[in-house]
Amino acid sequence: MSTIVLNLNATVQKEVMSTYSRHMVERKAPGVIFAAKMPDCAITVYRSGKVMFQGNGGDREAEKWSQGGITPASSVKKTTSKGDLLPPNFADLSVVGSDETGTGDYFGPITVAAVYVPKERIQLVKELGVKDSKMLTDDYMRKIAPDLKASLHHHVLILRNPKYNAMQASGMSQGKMKAKLHNQALMKLLQKIAPDKPDHILIDQFAERNTYYNYLKGDKEVVRDQVLFATKAEQLHVAVAAASILARCAFLNEMDKLSKLVGTTLPKGAGPKVDEVAAQILLAQGEEALNNITKWHFANTGKASRIASKSRPL
């Protein structure tokens, strides 16, 4: 889903409202003077002069107006993501964000973090250097993580390999594990900040809304109020970006511990280097040792076994 914001002069704004008048909908929100809803695009006109185009058709509709106002097309602000339609000025609201990491790594756990960033601390979080974790190095994230923890309410969960493997062996999918971890982290964080409540909760989307809540059927408590889902959520609010950083740092710390435990640096990911190191551990320490530090059902287990079998003396 694209979100594009143009700064348009009053004349062009009137043309926008006239063009989309047959799609007009009522939207009672601060500063909104006009709103329209097309099948694949929502258009919102603000008193400030900003016009927001959201949805899969956002690029198409915004392109029609990008040369007609005071903002050239080259400076249009774009965030491409999929998921729920977010409220106007979402980046400026008080939000709880949650994200996870480690899901695609053979070695190490899954870690999930939930972080609350009230609107009065958004600027502080930005000044601490928070942005999409994919744009930051591991060393930099580790450097700013202590300040984030000291400044923001947060909750981090770690699903270590033995428990992960037991849950997977019982038939639980990784998606269901992640849903349970996110839900638990959110519950714990909401308890910490009570009686304060965020304007919204944003989960970095890994499953459709219905699928996510199906995963949680049977759980005694499920967080539902004000929950939104979006992919690339780190780009949509600093709360998710901060959660991504804390989840990543927790994962890195666990990887350090496991590396020390087995006496070798464990590589991240699930590539050929991972297979080679896993084979070495399998040969030197056995299957149980490898099982305790890996996501056993990954294809890397079979690959490591084949490499190890070729290395064993006849």
Tens digits of per-residue pLDDT, 159-205?
Answer: 999 999 999 999 999 999 999 999 999 999 999 999 999 999 999 99
Distance CA 197, CA 84 (A): 20
pLDDT of residue 9: 84
pLDDT value at 72 more than 50: no
Q: What is the per-residue pLDDT for 137?
A: 86
Ramachandran region, residue 102 (left: φ > 0; alpha: ψ -120 to 50; beta: rest): left
Count helices and strands in the chain by DSSP H and E runs: 11, 10
Residue 159's pLDDT is 97
Mean pLDDT of the chain: 88
pLDDT bin (cut points 50, 70, 90) of residue 55 is confident
Residue 39 banded pLDDT, cuts 50, 70, 90? confident
Mean pLDDT of 44-48: 86
Strand order in the sheet with 50-55: 32-38, 41-46, 50-55, 2-7, 77-80
| pTM, entire model | 0.73
Q: In angstroms, rounded to a whole number, what is the distance separating the alpha carbons of residues 233 and 236? A: 5
pLDDT at 47: 84
Range among 3-17, 61-75, 109-123 rated most confident:
109-123
Taking a C-beta distance cutoff of 8 angstroms, is the pair 73, 67 a contact? yes
| Alpha carbon distance 157, 250 (integer Å) | 9
Q: Is 51 exposed, middle or buried (0-12, 13-18, 19+ CB in 10 A)?
A: buried
Encode pLDDT of 110-161 as tens digits.
999 999 999 999 888 888 888 655 667 888 889 989 999 999 999 999 999 9
pLDDT of res. 276? 94
Quote the pLDDT of residue 1.
Answer: 56
| Contact indicator for 100, 37 with CB cutoff of 8 Å | no
Instruction: Tell me which H or E stretch contains 101.
Output: strand 95-101
Residue 114 near residue 203 (C-beta atoms within 8 A): no
Alpha-carbon span 239 to 93, nearest angstrom: 10
Q: What are the tens digits of pLDDT across the range 200-257?
A: 999 999 888 899 999 999 899 999 999 999 988 888 899 999 999 999 999 999 999 9
Which of 22, 21, 25, 55 is closest to 40 using CA atoms?
Answer: 55
Question: Could you give the CA distance from residue 268 to residue 138 in angstroms, rounded to a whole number?
Answer: 12
Separation CA 52–CA 42 (nearest Å) = 8
Q: How confident is the model at residue 5 (pLDDT cuts 50, 70, 90)?
A: confident
The neighbour count for residue 144, using CB atoms within 10 Å, is 18
Place of tokens 């695009």: 41
pLDDT of residue 54: 86
DSSP string, 202-214: EEE-SS-HHHHHH
